[in-house]
Structure 1
Amino acid sequence: MATPTKPDPEAIPERLKLSQREIEVMAMAFMCISDIKDGVPQVDARKLAKIGNYASADSARHSWKPIQKKLLNHVNAEDDVSPFPVTPSSRGRGAPKKRKAGDDDAVERTPTKKPRGRPAKVVPKKEEIEDDLEEELADGEA
């Protein structure tokens, strides 16, 4: 009998790590594909919300998008030519700009956090209440 050999770790492709819930959402999303634009399947969020029992189309979309990004990143990492080309985001967000160490204006420009809730009631001290009562009694007697 031949002894089994250990496989070369570099020869084994890295597996896509998806949780059980992500696999379920992916299966539902693939049932909701409405169109394919630039090689990327477009998922109908309303239909996904109905099938997946989500409260709204937005919540369904928010659960699908991270899974879609994982799939696209996995496909792009393995091959130079991808069946799902990544299109640039239209929002134009980039990495935040770094501040210089000697930038004193950076401290002044940071916004202050507004307090939440109602302001605390100002409770007068006992001595102030007694003084007010004495003044009222004095005014009433005169």
Structure 2
Amino acid sequence: MREWPNSYFCPLCYRNLETAQHLFSECAESRRIWAEVSSWVGSPGLDPTNWNATDTLMDWFHGLAGDSSSTLAAGSRSLAILVTWSIWKERNARVFNNAEKTVARLVEEIKDEARLWCQAGAKRLAALVVNPSSE
């Protein structure tokens, strides 16, 4: 049987117990990523200083972009999925490969990936991302 590396502590901050809620919405490192991405696109809903305390991860995720069907809300949801996926990939890189990136590097990778999504036809994300083909 293959051994599964497991630590009780968050592999991003090494301070708190690792839970999904902590990893994606409470971890100081994750919150720095969210704040940088929020600043990049000018979306206050993605800025952790504007989040409400919630009981579940699903409530928190729905609160990121609201229930609006507007183009910007849809773009925010796409970007939230991208940021969450990027945080998860970084978590796995640290746990399984002992590889660690800086917050600045992760944010640059998120920007690059968002631009690729826009080039691939993610119109609602493109409406949110400022100049997705430049920067």
Of structures 1 and 2, the one with the larger relative CO (CA 8 A, separation 6+) is 2
- So what's the TM-score if we normalise by structure 1? 0.27
Normalized per residue, the structure richer in strand is 1
- Bigger Rg, structure 1 or 2: 1
- So what's the TM-score if we normalise by structure 2? 0.28
